[in-house]
Amino acid sequence: MKIIRRNEYIAVPVRPLRSGALSVRAKGMLMVLFSLPEDRALTDYELVSACRMTLEDVSEVARELEQAGYLVREGGALRVFDAPLDDGEL
């Protein structure tokens, strides 16, 4: 397969994309989060727009990513990890 890149691109970790534990929606939202600069924070409403999902869907997918260890919410801020955290790891 040949991929023609016409815009900026990012390198993303393969592990979450190959994970059978994540839904396609969760993988997509995680890639949106990975594409942001480190100091950029998105609100749930911005994720609704970026991912073209409802607020309920964004909340559900965020919970899925939290349960899988890829996302941690701290005081309204999100921390995103490229590999799942083990219990108690932070």
In this model, does residue 90 exceed pLDDT 60? Answer: no
Q: What is the pLDDT of residue 23?
A: 96
**Does 77 have pLDDT greater than 80?**
no
Question: Is residue 60's pLDDT more than 80?
Answer: yes
Q: Where are the domains of the chain?
A: 14-80
Average pLDDT over residues 64-82: 86
pLDDT for residue 85 is more than 60:
yes
Kindly report the backbone phi and psi dihedral angles of residue 74, in degrees, each rounded to the nearest multiple of 5, phi listed first: -130, 105
Cα separation, 19 vs 53, whole angstroms: 22
Give tens-digit pLDDT for 32-55. Answer: 888 888 777 777 888 888 889 999
* Beta strand spans in 1-90 (E): 71-74, 77-80
Residue 88 has pLDDT above 60, yes or no: no
Domain 14-80: CATH architecture, name and number where available = Orthogonal Bundle (1.10)
CA distances to 4, 10, 67 from 37, rounded to whole Å, are 24, 11, 24
Q: Are 48 and 55 in contact (CB under 8 A)?
A: yes
